[in-house]
A = this chain, B = another copy of it.
């Protein structure tokens, strides 16, 4: 598939494409025009065509896109078939919310283990996921490499744990700690989930309303 440099705005929209195409597929829709797909996503038809052209030629003039095959293409582009595995660091409320309610597998990621320090949960299995003491992180990763570390630890230990994940070989950190991690140019990708930024955007938008 031909590829070109993809802007971060397009990357941000790809998961939404996947989500919409998946919903359409589950609803039994077999094909869709760029204008109909655009309408459901709040984008123009030409925006849709332009976004998808970054990754190759999809769709046919006058026919539209085959929903299932485009969904498959987007899923491939997103790396959902790469067999990524993740470990969760911190099984407090947020870690457990992800463990128990978030469907990692639907994003193509296998959640293999969780790590915490609390004697109440170390040694237990939550939603099928074993919880180990954080002291076991290094030997665990040596035995069972993971590509993603999910960081739901308290802020005060976030950088220290992130450094251990990087030393353990993860390629990406999904950071829920609301601090900007300081990793020395390791090539590891950090994806921040900033709850406060999201709430402030909402605050702005409702404050603008008359």
Interface, chain A (partner B; CB < 8 A): 11-12, 14-16, 18-19, 77-80, 82, 84, 92-94, 96-98, 100-104, 106-109, 147-148, 171-172, 174, 187, 189, 191, 193-209
Contacts and interface: CB of A to CB of B under 8 A. Distances in A.
A203 B107 contact: yes
13 contacts: A11-B201, A11-B205, A12-B197, A14-B200, A15-B196, A78-B207, A79-B203, A79-B204, A84-B203, A103-B196, A108-B203, A172-B206, A193-B198
A209 B171 CA distance: 9
Contact of A148 (B104, B191, B202): B202
A193 B207 CA distance: 19
Nearest to A173: B202
> In the complex this chain forms, how many copies of it are found?
2
Contact of A204 (B14, B197, B198): B14
Given A147-B206, A172-B203, 5 more contacts: A79-B203, A84-B206, A93-B93, A102-B196, A189-B202
Contacts of A107: 196, 199-200, 203
Given A80-B200, A195-B102, A206 B171 contact: yes
Looking at A11, A18, A82, A97, which has the most chain B CB atoms within 10 Å of its CB?
A97
